[in-house]
Amino acid sequence: MTFVAAVLAAYLASTMLPSTYQVKTSLLLLPPLASELNAAAPATTLTVGAYQELAVSTSILQSVLNSTDMSSGMDVWDLRKHLSVSVTQLSASGTTGSQIILKAALAGSDPELLVRLAQAWTAAFSDTFRELFQDRTTQSYEYISQNAAYTQQELDDAMAARTDLLLQHPLDTLRSDLSALQEQYQKDKSALEALRIELGANQAYISAMQEELALQNEGKVLERSLAPDTLAVLLQSGLSVRDYQDLLKLRVEEEVLNSTHTSLVTNIAYAKAANMKTQQRIAALAVAVEEERQAIIATQTEITETQAALDSLDNKIQLLNDANSMLASKLHEAKIALVEAPNPIRVIDAPLAQKAAIAPNKKMNIAVAGILSLMVGVLLAFFYDYIARMQTDGKGPRRGVGKAEQDSTSDAQGGHPSVHRDDNGKSQQVR
């Protein structure tokens, strides 16, 4: 009974309720090319929630109502209740940009009106935001073009700076000059050390000669007698013996210059003159060595700074070359995209009303009602059986009277057969 009643009620309710139809449509939104570069440009992709808010914005819904003859008096809020929009983001591998699919569904009792509303919503959304997304694509192209030109200019400037750097500071020439300077520096430094050693030796030699000169006198007194030949000539000339003896005792003193003293003075003067020349050579060579050392330091510093600047320019040129190649490829893709995809909003599912209503679903309602009624009927049957058993078990012997006494009383009063109950509760007549 519950099953039949529930099925009939579900059928009548499904027949009497108004039918609800649904119309679906889908839009494809192409992403701007700037998002593929992952650049912080004005043309960046919106979030999923932003697209959904744009789809159900008041301006879009009001445009839909204005373009549709709404005799039923539906307002923006009523339309928003009947309209549901979902956003699906399709990401491509290897890129940061993604395509957006907007799926709109309108539910109501008039399928023709729903189709017109869906068509009006598609047109309103495309007309309102086509210019926005088209501008975003144009900005992407302009952004790539500007970046490509700027990168190319930076690359040209870096190449020119590298050329000027090598012209002003030729590394090969500088390294050759540095090698020659180092060789000359070592040679002059060795010569300077040799001159200083020579000067020290001359100084020691002069000191020794000066000490020896202090021990020598400038002149010497020589004492001598007459020569034998002279005496022989005098004897032959008639000199007396006495005079001859006197002449033998005669001594002549003669003062002469000390040759050792003179030699020492001459050698000391010569050594001092030589030391002065050596000192002059040492001074000149020391200046030359210091200048060569400063030149070596300056040349080495110039080589180091030039190499560092050249390495920096080479790294910058490498990065600019990579960026220029990538931007050139993206610029080519942007040109193709502007030609092939001028409209970033595409209708992929045109609004179309379903033949069958989505609500009420008679078969589903009857099936659910039947299953629930069967469950309720089974529960009621068990409950009714439980109540019946309780009532049957309540009709037993009176309280306070034994079974044997009742049987004897019955036999005494008329000989009627007595009734006994076995262990299973069944009645048996015993005469």
Whether pLDDT at 1 is above 90: no
Q: So what's the pLDDT on residue 183? A: 93
The token pair at 258 is 């000390």
Whether pLDDT at 4 is above 70: yes
User: CA dist 389 to 382, 394, 395, 410, 422, Å?
Assistant: 11, 9, 11, 29, 19
Q: Higher confidence at residue 9 or residue 35?
A: 9
Residue 120 three-state SS: helix
Query: 130, 23 in Cβ contact below 8 A?
Result: no
Q: Which helix (H) or strand (E) holds 4?
A: helix 2-16
For residues 91, 92, 94, 95, the Cα torsion angle rounded to the nearest 10 degrees is -70
Kindly report, residue by residue over 357-379, the tens digit of the pLDDT. 666 667 787 788 888 888 888 89
pLDDT category at 58 given cuts 50, 70, 90 is confident
Instruction: Examine residue 360 and say whether the peptide bond preceding it is cis (omega within 30 degrees of 0).
Output: yes
Query: 11, 362 in Cβ contact below 8 A?
Result: yes
- Domain ranges in the chain? 2-159+326-363, 219-257
Q: So what's the pLDDT on residue 393? A: 80
Averaged pLDDT for residues 336-352: 70
Query: 109, 2 in Cβ contact below 8 A?
Result: no
Q: Tell me how far apart the alpha carbons of residues 184 and 191 are, in angstroms, rounded to a whole number.
A: 10
Residue 273 three-state SS: helix
Q: What are the φ and ψ backbone dihedral angles of 313, each rounded to 5 degrees?
A: -65, -40
Instruction: Tell me the average pLDDT of the chain.
Output: 77
Q: So what's the pLDDT on residue 429? A: 46
Number of alpha carbons in the 13 Å side-chain half-sphere of residue 215 = 6
Q: Which helix (H) or strand (E) holds 126?
A: helix 111-168
Query: 29, 345 in Cβ contact below 8 A?
Result: yes
Q: Single out the residue of 85, 73, 86, 82 nearest to residue 114, CA to CA.
A: 82
Percent of the chain with pLDDT over 90: 18
Angle 37-159-323 (CA atoms, 0-180°, nearest 5)?
10
Q: So what's the pLDDT on residue 45? A: 55
Query: 344, 130 in Cβ contact below 8 A?
Result: yes
Kindly report, residue by residue over 179-227, the tens digit of the pLDDT. 999 999 999 999 999 988 988 888 888 888 888 878 776 655 555 666 6
Q: Higher confidence at residue 70 or residue 66?
A: 66
Q: Tell me how far apart the alpha carbons of residues 399 and 391 are, in angstroms, rounded to a whole number.
A: 17
Q: Single out the residue of 342, 359, 356, 354 nearest to residue 118, CA to CA.
A: 354
Whether pLDDT at 97 is above 70: no
Averaged pLDDT for residues 244-259: 63
Question: Whole-prediction pTM value?
Answer: 0.42
pLDDT category at 156 given cuts 50, 70, 90 is very high
